[in-house]
Chains A and B, each alone.
Chain A
Amino acid sequence: MNVSTNVPPSGPAEPLAQRLAELRGPAPQRSLNARSLAALAANPGCHRRAVLDAAGVDKTALAARLGRPAPFGQSPFAISRGVIFESRLKADDYGALLEPLRAHLGVPADDRAPLLVPDLLHRSGPAVRADRTAEALARAAAEPEAWTLLDHPMLRLDVAGGTAYLEPDALVVHGGRCTVIEIKSFPVLDGSADPAKVGAAARQAAVYVLALQRAAAAAAGQPLADDPYTEQRLPGSPRTSVLLVCPKDFGNRPTAVAVDVRRELATTRRQLSRMTGIGRLLEALPPGTDFDLAADEEGTPARTTEQLTAAVEAVPATYSPDCLSTCELGFHCRAQARCDGRVEQLGRGVRGELGSIRTVAGALAAASGTNGGTTSSGTDDGDPDGVGTDDAAERLAYAAALRAEALGAGA
């Protein structure tokens, strides 16, 4: 579970943070957690999402106000399954959790090096918990012989002028380094797990690893290594392989899988640096644009649906059908893409096939050989893929001729 909260940085607000707070209005800031940070990587090119997330706008509420609510939800059965699995792992002094960890990390079974489980003050606020985690981690890292388990530690990560607090399931510290442990309730069946789920878990874990890397670098007074693929060996720094602990086959016995998250780490870093460069995106917004979702005492919303729609429209989006499963605004952006007749509504791959033709009407005009300037209507951002309009149009017209011939012959 990821419970995390965002708090504005203390002291005088930086201009960026202030601008983001204005965008959000008086509504409470939506916390960025590891999952939402990881989801950013799902559609890296989307400015709309980057702005909304950086400002901490509640996208679920926004989607509902726009008239196309997010379809996401989690079944109570799935939630309780996750809770039961995790609590079983932690029962009897983490007995079941340690079993698979032993094999992977070499946690000793005998008593000579007992497992230390420091109290991380779970009832306190996030800032206190994060400080406590940092202390416990430093202490554990200073004793290379010891084995320490940090249960639900709290990590800090500065994102676009705010601080996100992140809560991994566990960290194991030994030999001066730590390893991120994520507990997932999807099974590892006959040695392999659903690659999509493993991928999502890896993206999420990469966010934790990044937070730990930054903390370790800061503590050592060193800059973070430029290359995300090099593992910086600093006191308390994380390994770039994380451990997923999942049920084995159809039962409740755990098994651990090591997952190398360096690739996800690189994506996350790129993503976050883009968030920091968000100032430029904000400058491009028309003055007065905001996403204020608050309502007054009578329940009259501060912004009308039209105003919100216009505000959302003001930030360019990069819709693709993947959005439907990764972003709360998926249905809204799809409706907009359809309304604008953009070809992305058919899938990411289509862009490559159609070159610089960007609209359905343009493509169909090209197909019928009557593309008298129509194709350029959808061409606005150059042609980075190298398929020229003419080339693509010619192929489309050829394809259309073949299709017509075949359908005629088959009828």
Chain B
Amino acid sequence: MSLLTTLARLEAVRSGRAEPLATVRHRHLSERPMVLVPLTTAGESGAPLAVMLGTDRDAPRLHLVPQPLNRTLRFDFLAELAADLLPYLESFAEDVEQIEGSEKDPETGEKTQVFRELCADAPQLIVPNGAGVHHLALIGRSTRFRRTAEDAEPGPYPAPLRVPLLGRWLTHLTDRAQVPGSSLLLPMTGLLSRHWATGQSHLEDQHLAARLAWHDPPEGLGGARAAELVETGRDEHGQLLHPPAGPATDPRFDEFVLGPAISRYDAAVTALQHAAEQRDGTAAERARAAVRAAVDQLEQVLTAVLLPTWRDVWRGLELLRALPSAGHLEERWTGDRWSYTGHRDRLAAGEPPQPRQDDAVTAARKLAQREREQTRLDVQEALDDPLAMAEHRLAGEAFAGVVADVVLEYDTTGRSPKPRPLVTLHTADRPHADLGREVHRVHGPSTQKAEIVAVDPAEGTITVRVLSGMGRKKEPEPGSLPEPGEPVTFTLFELTVRQSAPLPEPDDTPWTHGGPPGAASVPAAPASEEWE
């Protein structure tokens, strides 16, 4: 946490409300995001209990596993989820544009022009919190290797047809979520934390409803009190008034509501089996009704604990949409579209599922990509948002001020003199830099380098000598230099992180297109992973 964030938190403590950490929205938001609120069964790693999802705030859909320990029911659930989610994920695959690029022939080294398809838009999943992302990754891991009836050796427990495909998509999305600035899958708590500070700690901010309480505290209550009510308020049956955002459920909900409802379901199913064995038609009829009633009741109680979080996620989207979007969103979203397109192509090319563990080369490449994207994100956010730039100024990596003076000077060592003007600005910023350090002008008409020639803390001035970005003539191009009285910002870091190539990252290239061979050479792993 930086001092500026801490300051914003301190202000939030005083005001009792969330305080801004950004002046623009730094993440792409889809026109049609899929909100997904998953629940898991306590004690069972990655065992789904229910999910509420949909693209329409007023029409959430619920899927649940009436007995989470039953493998068949779990497969039924996953098949339902696949049938619901895959059409959304696949709906972006058809509409494409052709992107022109060049490719080097590995043998001749000759560059040839190529066209590559890029999907015009991509899906976006929003979950309540980071634990939700992790849960989807677990579902992805537990399903992508499953065999189905269509496989040569389906094994003893074949999964429904589209379940492994769902697993591969979830794996791709959760993997992509590790890339800084990516937006295919986003946790709402993370989105809110990026844009607002609350008067509580990061730990408490993981509770979606508690952090939202700082945005809309009820009349007369400060954020702290409102958040505490959300965390601890219980009804007369001891149930939380505002259930946690999952995927874990409240233990007391498990004990007093969910547990009994599941037991009722189990009892009804047992009765049904018994009736079937006895060939007792009326008893079977009664038992079937009891099973239905038990499922209905499970639907009711799970809807009741999911709906508040469902509304919270949409409320969060509303808050975020009220912010103007940052300048570089488009560019970063293009990276997400490449990622989506690449996965689409890998599936079409019949590649095996993502391996359990990346091989060393892939792992290293992914790490390098994430580092690169982090740098790009930092720079872009700083360019897009004065509050993000303020972080760099505070850290001594940038300085901003108003131009006091511009003195034209020339470098006469060459054959023809070159303009090397001195620009002095008033600023309280103290860059951590020695004289002679190269700096970069922010938001100039073109990229412009300069070097620091004087720092006068007593006067509050910094003087730089401009080295480039003034055209090729003897005199600087009109408008290429800042005028006295104009605000100007320089950074110590470069502002052009290697532009994202017009073609996708190697990781997003299917091997049929010369992408990394790693994924293809790893055999699809386990045939019969135990799962009970």
**Number of chain A residues close to chain B: CB under 8 A:** 59
User: Closest approach, in angstroms, between the C-beta of B204 and any C-beta of chain A?
Assistant: 6
Q: Which residue of A lies closest to B385 (CB)?
A: A410
Contacts of A144 in B (CB 8 A): none
- Asked if residues B200 and A346 are in contact (CB atoms below 8 Å), the reply is yes
Instruction: Check: A381 CB closer than 8 A to any chain B CB.
Output: no
Bound CA span A189–B390, Å: 42
Which candidate, A21-29, A73-81, A158-166, A288-296, is the interface stretch facing chain B? A73-81
User: Closest approach, in angstroms, between the C-beta of A196 and any C-beta of chain B?
Assistant: 12
Chain A contacts with B in 158-193, Cβ cutoff 8 A: 185-187, 189-191
Contacts of A69 in B (CB 8 A): 232
- Asked if residues B255 and A75 are in contact (CB atoms below 8 Å), the reply is yes
Q: Which residue of A lies closest to B8 (CB)?
A: A403
**Number of chain B residues close to chain A: CB under 8 A:** 56
Which candidate, A48-56, A149-157, A224-232, A250-258, is the interface stretch facing chain B? A250-258
Chain B contacts with A in 459-475, Cβ cutoff 8 A: none
With known contacts A190-B357, A347-B203, A251–B23 Cβ distance under 8 A: no
- Asked if residues B13 and A345 are in contact (CB atoms below 8 Å), the reply is yes
Contact partner of B3 (CB less than 8 A), chosen from A68, A78, A396, A407, is A396
- Asked if residues B428 and A364 are in contact (CB atoms below 8 Å), the reply is no
Chain B contacts with A in 250-271, Cβ cutoff 8 A: 250-252, 254-255, 259
Bound CA span A367–B4, Å: 11
Q: Mark B1-36, 1 if CB is under 8 A from A, else 0.
A: 101101111110110000010011000000000000
Bound CA span A315–B530, Å: 52
With known contacts A189-B141, A403-B4, A407-B23, A73–B394 Cβ distance under 8 A: no
- Asked if residues B232 and A331 are in contact (CB atoms below 8 Å), the reply is yes
Contacts of A325 in B (CB 8 A): 203
Q: Which residue of A lies closest to B525 (CB)?
A: A190
Q: Which residue of A lies closest to B255 (CB)?
A: A76
Chain B contacts with A in 19-78, Cβ cutoff 8 A: 20, 23-24, 41-47, 68
User: Closest approach, in angstroms, between the C-beta of A274 and any C-beta of chain B?
Assistant: 25
User: Closest approach, in angstroms, between the C-beta of A65 and any C-beta of chain B?
Assistant: 16
With known contacts A75-B251, A77-B259, A191-B357, A353–B3 Cβ distance under 8 A: yes
Instruction: Check: B192 CB closer than 8 A to any chain A CB.
Output: no
Q: Mark A381-411, 1 if CB is under 8 A from B, else 0.
A: 0000000000000011011111101110111
Instruction: Check: A71 CB closer than 8 A to any chain B CB.
Output: yes
User: Closest approach, in angstroms, between the C-beta of B254 and any C-beta of chain A?
Assistant: 4
Instruction: Check: A279 CB closer than 8 A to any chain B CB.
Output: no
Contacts of B11 in A (CB 8 A): 364
Instruction: Check: A99 CB closer than 8 A to any chain B CB.
Output: no
Bound CA span A186–B44, Å: 8
Chain B contacts with A in 222-258, Cβ cutoff 8 A: 224, 228, 231-232, 249-252, 254-255
Q: Mark B176-206, 1 if CB is under 8 A from A, else 0.
A: 0000000000000000000000011111100
With known contacts A400-B7, A402-B390, A407-B23, A75–B357 Cβ distance under 8 A: no
Contacts of A398 in B (CB 8 A): 394, 428
Q: Which residue of A lies closest to B21 (CB)?
A: A403
- Asked if residues A367 and B13 are in contact (CB atoms below 8 Å), the reply is no
Contacts of B259 in A (CB 8 A): 76-77
Instruction: Check: B389 CB closer than 8 A to any chain A CB.
Output: yes
Instruction: Check: B532 CB closer than 8 A to any chain A CB.
Output: yes
Q: Which residue of B lies closest to A193 (CB)?
A: B45
Instruction: Check: A282 CB closer than 8 A to any chain B CB.
Output: no
- Asked if residues B7 and A396 are in contact (CB atoms below 8 Å), the reply is yes
- Asked if residues A74 and B204 are in contact (CB atoms below 8 Å), the reply is no
- Asked if residues B201 and A402 are in contact (CB atoms below 8 Å), the reply is no
Bound CA span A386–B228, Å: 34
- Asked if residues A77 and B390 are in contact (CB atoms below 8 Å), the reply is no
Q: Mark B129-141, 1 if CB is under 8 A from A, else 0.
A: 0000000001001
Chain B contacts with A in 343-398, Cβ cutoff 8 A: 356-357, 385-387, 389-390, 393-394
With known contacts A75-B42, A250-B46, A406-B23, A324–B7 Cβ distance under 8 A: no
User: Closest approach, in angstroms, between the C-beta of B18 and any C-beta of chain A?
Assistant: 14
Chain A contacts with B in 333-353, Cβ cutoff 8 A: 335, 338, 341, 343, 345-347, 349-350, 353
Bound CA span A185–B228, Å: 31
- Asked if residues A190 and B532 are in contact (CB atoms below 8 Å), the reply is no
Instruction: Check: A201 CB closer than 8 A to any chain B CB.
Output: no
Instruction: Check: B529 CB closer than 8 A to any chain A CB.
Output: yes
User: Closest approach, in angstroms, between the C-beta of B263 and any C-beta of chain A?
Assistant: 11
Contacts of B254 in A (CB 8 A): 75-77
With known contacts A187-B45, A405-B386, A345–B200 Cβ distance under 8 A: yes
Instruction: Check: A249 CB closer than 8 A to any chain B CB.
Output: yes
Contacts of B529 in A (CB 8 A): 249-251
Contacts of B531 in A (CB 8 A): 250-251
Bound CA span A253–B532, Å: 11
Contacts of A364 in B (CB 8 A): 10-11, 14
User: Closest approach, in angstroms, between the C-beta of A108 and any C-beta of chain B?
Assistant: 26
Instruction: Check: B142 CB closer than 8 A to any chain A CB.
Output: yes
A-B contact pairs, 24 of them (CB 8 A): A73-B252, A75-B251, A75-B255, A78-B43, A79-B43, A189-B45, A247-B45, A250-B531, A321-B201, A321-B203, A338-B224, A345-B13, A346-B200, A350-B9, A354-B6, A360-B10, A395-B394, A399-B3, A399-B4, A400-B7, A403-B390, A406-B390, A410-B23, A410-B24
Residue positions of A touching B, CB distance < 8 A: 68-69, 71, 73-82, 185-187, 189-191, 247, 249-253, 321-322, 324-325, 331, 335, 338, 341, 343, 345-347, 349-350, 353-354, 360, 363-364, 367, 395-396, 398-403, 405-407, 409-411
In addition to A82-B43, A364-B14, 18 A-B residue pairs with Cβ atoms within 8 Å of each other are: A74-B251, A75-B42, A77-B41, A77-B43, A250-B530, A324-B204, A343-B10, A345-B13, A346-B201, A347-B202, A353-B1, A367-B7, A395-B3, A396-B3, A403-B8, A403-B387, A406-B387, A410-B387
